[in-house]
Amino acid sequence: MEPQTGPSAFATSSIHKRKHLSEDHSPPFHPSCDSSMHNFTGSVNSLATTSGSVPDFVVKDEAATNIFTENLQIRGGYSAREESLKKEEESGLLKFVCVCNDGVDDHMVSLIALKNIFARQLPNMPKEYIVRLIMDRNHKSIMVIREPNRVVGGVTYRPYANQRFAEIAFCAISDDRQVKGYGTRLMNHLKQYARDVDGLTHFLTYADNNAIGYFIKQGFTKEIHLEKDRWEGYIKDYDGGTLMECKLDPKIPYTDLTTMIRRQRQALFEKIRELSNCHNIVYAGIDFQKRSEDGVIPNRIVDDIPGLKEAKWTPDMYGHSRFRALDGSTDHATNLKHLTEFMRSILKEMHDHPDAWPFKEPVDALSVPGYYEIIKNPMDLKTMSERLESEQYYVTFEMFLADARRMFENARTYNPPKTIYYKCATRLEAHFQSKVTTLLQSGFKIQ
């Protein structure tokens, strides 16, 4: 698939044609920054870090020692990045500050540096427009600053105190700091500051196609639940942008989410311990690449996995699906054979369709730079075919459906509605759904 390329930064709408802005009903904003730069770095003190260790664990293999307890403390890329940046803040290497046009020389220098980042990352946005909003005294800017006092990103927004919401104007991170968690950490600081200092409850922003994925990850939705009379006429209306909303939770510690997640996980495992002892045993991993004496990698049998039986697993749970062949066979091997033939016929129908050409190969990262920064779970017909022919991946029809839907959704997420790629995805998906329905009626049924 060859989607349209876009700027590498996440940002609000780069379509800058301003349609309408009613008279500003809010009083002039007097910056709360006064003459000093507000540094709101740091975690919520009431949520002190708790130990990630879990007592009474039995380890079946010495190599597995500490695997569980370490992962309990930091699990997943999001938590790891947040924890790492939080430590940098605590050490003074990184800080997040609120700056506004208050006439202080240092603040003006920082605003100009942020303007340069926005201009570089938002090439379609006129520089004069960026300067006008950043320097407007009704706007605030939350900046990411690394030692030695270098601005590496930020977000500019306008709070409407009486309406208790803010409009995000620009949001970007410099090239060398992208995909490292800075954008998420910046948004978390913005949420905490806007809620606790500005007293706001919602954010609104117009996002272009390149920014929608980022904002969705930060808790924004395309459904606007904020009462229309609170925002209509206050915010700028853009051609081609998508209006998105984020509601601020009054209790979430946005700048200390990892501690909250750790405590929730700890509470969950304590509840599990009340019901079962299976979680107390950590088994060594399976060397699935280990070859037999004749040099062949053997097919793994699921019930060979240590600990499954102890966890009350039974063979009928493997490959459990709502779909079964009409012959009523309960034999797993027979069902899997029928299922593979069924999926192979659907995949061929898709591959032969005239709208399938953008999806036959994985997207080339060199031809479409930045694609994999937006699409984190890519999918294409070639990958689906390889998974199918392995006869080990699609053990349920639901897994096959999920990959197909992901492929269509990726195309619509990355490409604007008027592009050929978006239209091909919609037409091919309709064909896919039609064929699935037809084949189900002729050969498969849903239990």
| pLDDT confidence of residue 51 | 37
Query: What is the Cα 31 distance to its own chain's centre?
Result: 33
| pLDDT confidence of residue 179 | 78
Least Cα distance to 198 among 229, 164, 224, 175 occurs for 164
Q: pLDDT digits over 122-159, tens only? A: 888 889 999 999 999 999 999 999 888 899 899 999 99
Q: How far is 162 from 200, CA to CA, in rounded Å? A: 9
- Does the pTM exceed 0.75? no
Within 13 Å of residue 159, how many CA atoms lie on the same side as its CB?
23
Range name among 206-210, 230-234, 365-369, 428-432 with the lowest pLDDT average: 206-210
Q: Map out the domains of the chain as residue ranges.
A: 76-253, 323-446
DSSP one-letter code for 63: G
| pLDDT confidence of residue 423 | 95
For residues 324-335, average pLDDT: 59
Residue 113: Cβ-neighbour burial (10 angstroms; 0-12, 13-18, 19+) = middle
Query: What is the Cα 440 distance to its own chain's centre?
Result: 34
| pLDDT confidence of residue 359 | 96
Tell me what the pLDDT averaged over the chain comes to. 77
Q: pLDDT-derived band of residue 181, with 50, 70 and 90 as boundaries? A: confident
Q: Is the bond leading into 123 cis (omega within 30 degrees of zero)? A: no
Q: CATH class for domain 323-446?
A: mainly alpha
Q: pLDDT digits over 272-322, tens only? A: 888 776 666 788 776 655 656 665 555 556 666 777 777 777 666 655 555
| pLDDT confidence of residue 14 | 37
Give the CA distances from residue 341 to residues 299, 317, 388, 389, 393, in Å, rounded to whole numbers and listed in that order.
Answer: 20, 22, 10, 10, 14
Among 70-74, 216-220, 325-329, 392-396, the range of highest mean pLDDT: 216-220
| pLDDT confidence of residue 70 | 39
Q: How far is 97 from 113, CA to CA, in rounded Å? A: 14
| pLDDT confidence of residue 56 | 38
| pLDDT confidence of residue 35 | 36
* Residues designated as active site: 167
Q: pLDDT-derived band of residue 8, with 50, 70 and 90 as boundaries? A: very low
Tell the CATH superfamily of the 76-253 domain.
Gcn5-related N-acetyltransferase (GNAT) (3.40.630.30)
DSSP one-letter code for 70: H
